[in-house]
């Protein structure tokens, strides 16, 4: 990584960008699968069988993390732009990652 | 001189300096004697004075006021006159290159025209509301507006923020942190009479709404200014103006 980018808030930026793109790629697939409940319920049942696979559970952990980090990262950016300036920007970024990790871990533990 | 001092003096630093012009170039290696309290500008000057008089670089005041000596040092933008070698050296090696995001004229000197043109495009020019015949306006330094104007006013135009910004590198139209920071200073200046004009200038394509809040400008600003906060202020002010005008 270029050395002008090695600081917390640039990493927070790229995490927000990456999670956004990943969710954009995931959501059409997700909605497609949901629509199949109406059009092709047998295939959906077969596919849902896969969710018991440990690898899929890890992937779900990742997905919940991305979703959560994008939500909290977005709230952080809205606070940055619309609230009076706060000096604890790095803390906010760290907080959004920490809360997301907590949420996705909780999700993972309840899934396994 | 003490033994320790002598030892430091004998040691050489490996310095890679970018040499070339707008057509392209490459890094050249130099061995520069290490000295106590040596700055990056000292290193560049030593090379130019002792090894290669054709090396081009730019500096003026040497005390961090003029903003002309900024370069990339080990991949990060720095004001070289106030950057100590000991603070940034990695494995006894320094890589010195011209500022990022600006066209090179020769070696370490960049063409800063676009950087300054963008100050003008961002309405970074003061529009007075009084003439010399009027009484001098009394400004209370305690007001929050003046405090914001003062916070943004210490910029030395060194373009370190401009070089650190990835939005500038991906969008050539983007005004950049320094120009927007200047606009924010004037937005908060009660003596200025071009608020609407300025808010229009900074909310066009390439304006403040292009900022991705990467904070590179805040991280590297040698005067510890906060252009990201200034840009956030402009974003809010332009958004408020949009709703005000709709009414």
B67: domain CATH number is 3.10.20.30
B226-239: per-residue pLDDT in tens?
A: 999 999 999 999 99
Mean pLDDT of B65-73: 97
Q: What is the mean pLDDT of residues B172-180?
A: 97
What CA–CA distance (Å, rounded) separates A22 from B67? 41
Neighbours of B69 (CB within 10 A): 25
Q: Each residue of B77-127: pLDDT tens digit?
A: 999 999 999 999 999 999 999 999 999 999 999 999 999 999 999 999 999
Which parts of chain B are beta strand (E)? 12-21, 24-33, 70-73, 76-79, 93-97, 104-106, 109-110
On whether both B117 and B85 belong to a single domain, the answer is no
CB atoms within 10 A of CB B241: 15
Length of chain B counted residue by residue: 247
Is CATH 1.20.1300.10 what the domain over A3-111 is classified as, yes or no? yes
Residues B16, B78: one domain? Answer: yes
H-state helical runs in B18-112: 40-50, 85-88
Q: Is B246 exposed, middle or buried (0-12, 13-18, 19+ CB in 10 A)?
A: exposed
Q: Which domain holds residue B218?
A: 113-246
For position B173, which CATH number holds?
A: 1.10.1060.10
Shortest Cα–Cα distance, B85 to chain A (Å): 17
Q: What is the pLDDT of residue A61?
A: 93
**Number of domains observed in the structure of chain B:** 2
Smallest CA–CA distance from B227 into chain A, residue: A85
DSSP designation for B227? H
Which residues on chain B are in Cβ contact (under 8 Å) with A81? 213, 232, 235-236
pTM score, whole prediction:
0.90
Same domain, B132 and B205: yes
Q: Are the CB atoms for A104 and A61 separated by under 8 Å?
A: yes
- Whether B10 and B56 map to the same domain: the answer is yes
Percent over 70 (pLDDT), chain A: 100
* B214 vs A contacts (CB less than 8 Å): 9-10, 13
Asked if residues B98 and B83 have their Cβ atoms less than 8 Å apart, the reply is: no
pLDDT of residue B246 exceeding 90:
no
pLDDT 10s digits, B2-48: 555 455 456 999 999 999 999 999 999 999 999 999 999 999 999 99
């Amino acid at each position: 990584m270029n050395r002008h980018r090695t600081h917390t808030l640039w990493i927070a930026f790229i995490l927000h960008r990456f999670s956004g793109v990943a969710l954009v790629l995931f959501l059409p697939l997700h909605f497609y699968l949901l629509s199949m409940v109406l059009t092709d319920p047998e295939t959906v049942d077969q596919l849902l069988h896969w969710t018991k696979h440990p690898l899929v559970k890890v992937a779900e952990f990742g997905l919940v993390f991305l979703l959560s980090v994008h939500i909290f990262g977005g709230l952080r950016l809205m606070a940055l732009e619309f609230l009076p300036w706060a000096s604890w920007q790095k803390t906010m970024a760290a907080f959004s990652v920490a809360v997301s990790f907590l949420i996705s871990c909780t999700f993972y533990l309840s899934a396994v | 001189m003490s033994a320790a001092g002598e030892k430091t003096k004998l040691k050489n630093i490996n310095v890679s300096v970018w040499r070339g012009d707008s057509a392209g170039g490459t890094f050249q290696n130099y061995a520069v004697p290490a000295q106590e309290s040596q700055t990056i500008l000292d290193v560049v000057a030593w090379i130019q004075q002792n090894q290669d008089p054709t090396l081009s670089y730019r500096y003026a005041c040497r005390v961090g006021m003029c903003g002309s000596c900024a370069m990339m040092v080990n991949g990060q933008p720095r004001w070289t006159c106030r950057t100590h070698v000991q603070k940034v050296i990695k494995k006894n090696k320094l890589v010195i290159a011209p500022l990022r995001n600006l066209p090179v004229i020769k070696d370490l000197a960049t063409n800063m025209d676009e950087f300054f043109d963008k100050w003008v495009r961002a309405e970074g020019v003061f529009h007075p509301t009084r003439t010399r015949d009027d009484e001098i306006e009394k400004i209370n330094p305690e007001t929050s507006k003046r405090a914001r104007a003062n916070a943004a006013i210490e910029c030395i135009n060194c373009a370190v923020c401009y070089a650190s910004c990835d939005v500038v590198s991906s969008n050539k139209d983007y005004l950049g942190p320094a120009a927007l920071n200047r606009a924010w200073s004037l937005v908060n200046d009660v003596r200025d009479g071009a608020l609407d004009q300025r808010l229009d200038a900074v909310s066009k394509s390439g304006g403040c709404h292009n900022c991705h809040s990467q904070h590179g400008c805040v991280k590297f600003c040698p005067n510890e200014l906060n252009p990201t906060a200034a840009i956030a202020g402009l974003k809010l002010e332009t958004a408020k103006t949009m709703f005000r005008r709709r009414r």
